[in-house]
Amino acid sequence: AQKITQTQPGMFVQEKEAVTLDCTYDTSDPSYGLFWYKQPSSGEMIFLIYQGSYDQQNATEGRYSLNFQKARKSANLVISASQLGDSAMYFCAMRGPYLRWPGYALNFGKGTSLLVTP
Amino acid sequence: EAQVTQNPRYLITVTGKKLTVTCSQNMNHEYMSWYRQDPGLGLRQIYYSMNVEVTDKGDVPEGYKVSRKEKRNFPLILESPSPNQTSLYFCASSSDEKLFFGSGTQLSVL
Nearest one of B91, B85, B86 to B104, comparing CA atoms: B91
Are B45 and B33 contacting, i.e. CB atoms less than 8 angstroms apart? Answer: yes
Interval B44-71: pLDDT, tens: 999 999 999 999 999 999 999 999 999 9
Q: With an 8 Å Cβ cutoff, are A37 and B58 in contact? A: no
Interval B17-27: pLDDT, tens: 999 999 999 99
Are B102 and B37 contacting, i.e. CB atoms less than 8 angstroms apart? Answer: no
B100 neighbourhood in chain A, CB within 8 Å: 47
Q: Which residue of B has its CA nearest to A45?
A: B101
B57 neighbourhood in chain A, CB within 8 Å: 103
Nearest one of B77, B70, B33, B40 to B53, comparing CA atoms: B70
Query: What percent of chain B is predicted at pLDDT more than 90?
Result: 85
Nearest one of A104, A62, A109, A53 to A85, comparing CA atoms: A62
Q: With an 8 Å Cβ cutoff, are B101 and A33 in contact? A: no
Distance from CA of B48 to the nearest CA of A (A): 6
B9 Cβ neighbours under 8 A, 6+ residues apart: B103, B104, B105, B106
**Other Cβ atoms closer than 10 A to B24:** 18
